[in-house]
Amino acid sequence: MNIDALATTARAMVAPGKGILAADESTGTIKKRFDSIDAESTEETRRAYRELLFTTEGAPKYVSGVILFDETLRQQASDGRPFPKVLADSGIIPGIKVDMGAKDLAGFPGEKVTDGLDGLRGRLAEYYDLGARFAKWRAVITIGDGIPTRTCIESNAHALARYAALCQESGLVPIVEPEVLMDGGHTIERCEEVTLATLERVYSELHGHRVVLEGTLLKPNMVLSGKDCPTQAGVGEVAAATLRCFLRVVPAAVPGIVFLSGGQTPEQATERLNAMNAMGDYPWELSFSYGRALQAPVLEAWRGSDANVGAAKRAYHHRAKLNGAARYGNYSREMEKVSV
């Protein structure tokens, strides 16, 4: 394990003004995205769509890394270059989603645990050879009546730590993603309580598995009201609750926190990240690792047509630029009105 190399990569992924594009949708998930714009999901249309994203001029100014799906990591651009090389050539670090999805936790109705540890060491070695330099593993924690249980939190934290240790052994920076879902009617206070308990356990397990925190990134949820909660917390309240929670539990050794968008609109995800960065300096970089919050406008502009590739690229560049501004606390809603 080369700790210096891992730490250097982790810091580069949260370079000032930059964040991560999550383009790691599974085949089933991207089909749903394509269905929403009446586009057929085939290996070729998925390849063409990802190439659109990866070859957008100017995007590397705001995007430091891209998380890929297994299929995408093995695909090539129309000029014959493998996608990891396309990204690396533009100064973007290629990464890979390695978990096998959240499955029902036996004996605990309504709760999930993430699969994918079996055979992971071999897969990580192959992914490194294919050009990946970081990985991602997502765990999901649901808030509901009597949940999450301690067993659910502990099971997911343990799996995240085992995954992270195997990544570092293989030379890959692990993105640790414990997501407390915004589904439900819970208050922002309940979300903060569960997020704090989850992160406390995650970092306890990471320490127990001798994971070097300088060579990791955290990809958490923001502390939000449940989407069905009658009283929705404002932007300032979300920023304050999120930072209060993380200051209590996320070690300063972690180079950066790259938030997931988790069902927020593109504007909400950008505005809330901006509010946090506008509140001051913190031990870690506060960045983004957005999927839908970066891609929703792109898909709407593209709609599966080659004729719309230019418009889709402009939409992606614009959204990336706005999130780049949010990294400095310089974003405003007025910037949304700029024509793309």
DSSP-derived secondary structure for 16-58: TT-EEEEE---HHHHHHHHHTTT----HHHHHHHHHHHHT-TT
Q: Is 219 a catalytic residue?
A: yes
Q: Which of 204, 195, 192, 193 is nearest to 177 (CA)?
A: 195
**Of 25, 51, 111, 177, which one is the catalytic site residue?**
177
Q: Tokens in use for 288?
A: 């983004």
DSSP-derived secondary structure for 57-74: TTGGGTEEEEEE-HHHHT
Amino acid letter, residue 233: A
Q: Which of 25, 13, 20 is nearest to 71 (CA)?
A: 25
**Of 219, 285, 313, 321, which one is the catalytic site residue?**
219
Q: Is 177 a catalytic residue?
A: yes
Peptide bond into 148 cis (omega under 30): yes
Q: At what angle do helices 188-208 and 150-169 cross, to 10 degrees?
A: 50
Measured distance CA(142)–CA(152) in Å, rounded: 9
- Report the catalytic residues: 177, 219
